[in-house]
Amino acid sequence: MIYCVEDDTDIREIEQYTLQSMKMETQVFADGTSFFAAVEKRVPDLVVLDIMLPDMSGIDILKRLRTGSRTRHVPVIMATAKGTEYERVSALDMGADDYLTKPFSLMEMVARINAVLRRCQGNMPTEEITFGSLSLDEASHEVKIDGKLIDLTLKEYELLHLMLKRQGRVFTRDQLLDHIWGMDYDGENRTVDVHIRTLRQKLGEMEYIIKTVRGVGYKVGS
């Protein structure tokens, strides 16, 4: 699945038409909000991301992708305006895999997508993390208990993944906000408590693995 984030309607439609004509499953989005709503349901194989968007910049979207445990390895190709070298360098420094300079040909876009997919194919994480009867597969982003799939939201998955990776470490609420929601998040830290509560509910009998450290925060493990 290829996600294209582009606010120009004409460009967005022709990107979708071109990729679908090349037998690539594609979804397009006009802004970051609709894009992240789709990511919540399905993590794409690659993102073509415009820098200039109406609600948030492509750089901010890239930063959020790279700090999310489910999305940090998703290949990203940035689309930048001609002459904006600073933006291209910033994007590459932050983890973009390639960039396209507007105006670009559609065949160039397809070629770069194929090249990045080939390059990144062997670099995806394949580790399975376990805790008792619970398993988390980093490659498929699936969480199972006794082999049964647990339906988690993106944030619930990221919280569980972070604490499972660092079992025994206590995370404060502010640390969890920084890791999962990003440093620019302006919500209250009770957001963490709400997500921990729903995560525990979904874990059922395994809810005990997430321990509350009174006055500090949360951890997984003894």
CB neighbour list of residue 48: distance below 8 Å, 6 or more residues apart: 2, 3, 4, 5, 6, 15, 77, 79, 100, 109, 113
Partners of 137 in beta bridges: 128, 142
- For the cut 80, the answer to whether the pLDDT of residue 181 exceeds it is no
Higher-confidence residue of 209 and 188: namely 209
What integer pLDDT is reported at residue 35 of this predicted model? 94
Structural domain including 22 reads: 2-123
State the pLDDT at residue 183.
46
Mean pLDDT over residues 120-134, rounded? 76
Final residue of a structural domain among 73, 92, 123: 123
The residue-averaged pLDDT of 187-204 equals: 85
Q: Are residues 93 and 156 in the same domain?
A: no
Same domain, 194 and 133: yes
Q: What's the pLDDT at 125?
A: 56
Comparing 186 with 164, the larger pLDDT belongs to 164
Provide the pLDDT for residue 185.
Answer: 47
Is the pLDDT assigned to residue 187 strictly greater than 70? Answer: no
pLDDT at 189 over 70: no
Higher pLDDT, 117 or 180: 117
Q: For residue 173, give the CATH number of its domain.
A: 1.10.10.10
Asked whether residue 173 falls in the same domain as residue 199, the answer is yes
Residue 1 has what pLDDT?
Answer: 92
CA pair distance 86, 210, nearest whole angstrom: 43
Domain boundary among 71, 93, 123: 123
